Amino acid sequence: MKNYGLKFKIWQKILKKFLIPKLLTLNVNPGSRGFTLIETIIYIAILGMIASAFIFFSVSVSNSRDKTYVVQEVQANARMALELISQKIRSANGVNLESSIFESNPGRLSLSMASSSLNPTIIDLSRDNGNLRIIQGTSSVPLQFEAGSLSTDENWATVSLKNNYINPVIVASYQELNNTLPASVRIRNASSTGFEVRLQNPSGANLSSDKITYFVIEEGVWNINGIVVEANKYDTNTTGSSAGGWLYDLKTFPQTFTSDPVVFHQVMTYNDPNWITSYVSKDTGRWNPPGVSGMRIALNASEAATTHGTETIGWIAMSMNATTTVNGTPLETYRTSDSVFGHDNGCYPFSYQNTYVNSPIVLGFQEEMDGANGGWSVTCSNSPSQASFHVEEDQVLDSERFHTSETMAFIAFAGALSYSDSDKKSIAVTSGDIKITNLIFTNLTGSSSRENIRVEMTAEYDNPGNNPEYDYSQSWRTAVGVRK
């Protein structure tokens, strides 16, 4: 409370000794001369100083009370959060190591639970507000997705995501503006908060910087305003190629599409640095797009190779030729006719269903493999009214890039978009006034058969006005063993 209390006592003595007796004698005797001007000024000044002391004293008491509240709020929330995290860890059957994030901030802990309604239980932070959240069971996994763009060449560029994903599925596309050589998109280090991306030439040549567009969505089955969505990923070394034959894996759709879906697909890892992309087609043959019953999908080496190391392929199936608006941003999906030819043949336009003020973010993907040499989709032009595509080919065995007709599919967003309903699906552990600025999980198991997790957390009061009286943070650490 600083020294305001002492000042108040001093002015209280001055008031009692000098000012009050004088006021009590004012005009008591008819002949009294009253206050002189000098005395009046002095007394007014003294009263002003006393009033100031009262004000400072009141403010000090109020600030002290507010500071006490802040400290209590931070400590109470942190204790509750740590206790709840400890309870979840102790009641778990094990830790899902692959989907957990250890020794990094913000961390994530994925726990295997005996109850199917609680399995998995995921503990992490909301990227929107820094609140600690707990997601229990697959039905509580939030729908979240985003779209954006950037420019890069053959060098890796980092994309930081707006949402905090549990299992992100990432697809990307390339718009040919500055390059004359063939190129496709490669991705690596995909995580809940970001990924790295670059262009890759099948022959290993350097490239010019060009535009890459991306679409990220939480793995699962979703419905976006009536648009049916299925996002998934899997690991494979099955490689289709011109020389080795168009080998494939079969995938079915667990939900029902009333008509053929569009499928967007992407190699999401960089385990083998040799050039590769992906391809899809109808489950009964490579000459048609995926249908309601399922699809063929595999790595696509075209004429560059016949084998490739194991990679993760992400794919997103969506209702075809659909439009909607999310958070004020129009988006659409579309499948073209079998009329898109090769790079050396031309550039083939298709009109948008929505009306856009500016050129939208568009991602294009090849939906079949009519051409035996192999190919993939490249966006060759984009405007507010239409997007244009052609089929790209590698130049490993020959320099020509002519190609027979293929069917393409695209998704377009009016602009950069981010959506998440995580607050509706998760339990917010901390209050709105408290932010968790540091959350780190460390696996201490070592050679022990019992899994032990160390939890480190720093909590602070959310101080939007930057009032120093409200600045307070505190860190905690505990270790908890998983029940066996």
Q: Is 364 in the same domain as 406?
A: yes
What percentage of the chain has pLDDT greater than the value 70? 83
In the DSSP assignment, the letter for residue 18 is I
- pLDDT score for 58: 56
Query: Does 196 lie in the same domain as 73?
Result: no
Domain end marker among 420, 442, 464: 420
170 in a domain, yes or no?
yes
pLDDT in tens, 435-479: 888 899 999 876 545 688 999 988 888 766 666 667 778 888 888
Same-domain status, 445 and 401: no
Say yes or no: 117 and 155 in one domain: no
Residue-level pLDDT at 174: 95
Q: With the CA atoms of 233, 234, 237 and 242 taken in that order, what torsion angle do they form, in degrees rounded to the nearest 10?
A: -40
CB–CB of 94/112 below 8 Å?
Answer: yes
pLDDT for 481 beyond 60: yes
405 and 341 in a common domain? yes
The β-bridge relationship of strands 295-302 and 144-152 is: unpaired
* Torsional class of 226: left (φ above 0), alpha (ψ -120 to 50), beta (otherwise): left
Is the pLDDT reported for residue 21 higher than 70?
A: no
Domain shared by 33 and 154, yes or no = no
Is residue 118 domain-shared with residue 217, that is, in the same domain? no
In terms of pLDDT, which residue wins out, 52 or 286? 286
Q: What is the mean pLDDT of residues 476-483?
A: 86
Considering the domain architecture, whether residues 111 and 42 belong to the same structural domain is answered as yes
Looking at the domain assignment, is residue 47 inside a domain?
A: yes
H/E stretch holding 351 reads strand 348-351
Q: Is 70 exceeded by the pLDDT of residue 376? A: yes
Beta bridge partners of 365: 409
Q: How many domains does the chain have?
A: 2
Its domain, for residue 92, covers 1-138+431-484
User: Is 395 in the same domain as 475?
Assistant: no
In the sheet that holds 94-95, the strands lie side by side as 94-95, 109-112, 121-125, 132-136, 427-428
Band of the pLDDT at 353, cuts 50, 70, 90? very high
The predicted pLDDT at position 129 comes to 65
| 196 and 326 both lie in a single domain | yes
Mark whether 315 and 399 lie in a shared domain: yes
* The two three-digit tokens of residue 126, written as one number: 């909301």
For residues 91-120, give the mean pLDDT.
88
Alpha-carbon radius of gyration of the chain: 33
Query: What is the per-residue pLDDT for 39?
Result: 66
pLDDT of res. 16: 57
For the residues 398-420, what does the mean pLDDT come to? 97
Report the range of poorest mean pLDDT among 134-148, 235-249, 386-400, 443-457.
443-457
How far apart, in whole angstroms, are the C-alpha atoms of residue 116 and residue 220? 17
Average pLDDT over residues 314-343: 97
1 pLDDT exceeds 50? no
Higher pLDDT, 362 or 461: 362
Only one residue has tokens 């050039």, namely 275
C-alpha dist (Å) from residue 372 to 37, 47, 90, 228: 108, 97, 56, 32
Per-residue exposure over 366-389, b if at least 16 CB sit within 10 Å of its own CB, e if not: bbbbbbebbbbbbbbbbeeeebbb
Identify whether residues 133 and 150 lie together within a single domain: no
Q: Which of 396, 420, 444 is the last residue of a domain?
A: 420
Closest CA to 395 of 187, 184, 185: 184
Specify the DSSP element, H or E, that contains 198. strand 194-200
The residue-averaged pLDDT of 193-212 equals 97
In a domain, 426, yes or no: no
Residue 254 has what DSSP assignment? Answer: S
Tokens of 409: 């599919």
Q: Is residue 310 predicted with pLDDT exceeding 90?
A: yes
Query: In terms of pLDDT, which residue wins out, 75 or 327?
Result: 327
Residue 340 belongs to a domain: yes
Q: Does 288 reside within a domain? A: yes
Is residue 212 predicted with pLDDT exceeding 80?
A: yes
262 lies in a domain?
yes
pLDDT for residue 2: 47
Does this model's pTM top 0.75? My answer is yes
Contact (CB, 8 A) for 248 and 238: yes
Other Cβ atoms closer than 10 A to 78? 22
Per-chain mean pLDDT for the chain: 87
Question: Which residue would you say has higher pLDDT here, 315 or 438?
Answer: 315
**Among all chains, which residue has been given the structure tokens 């094990």?**
94
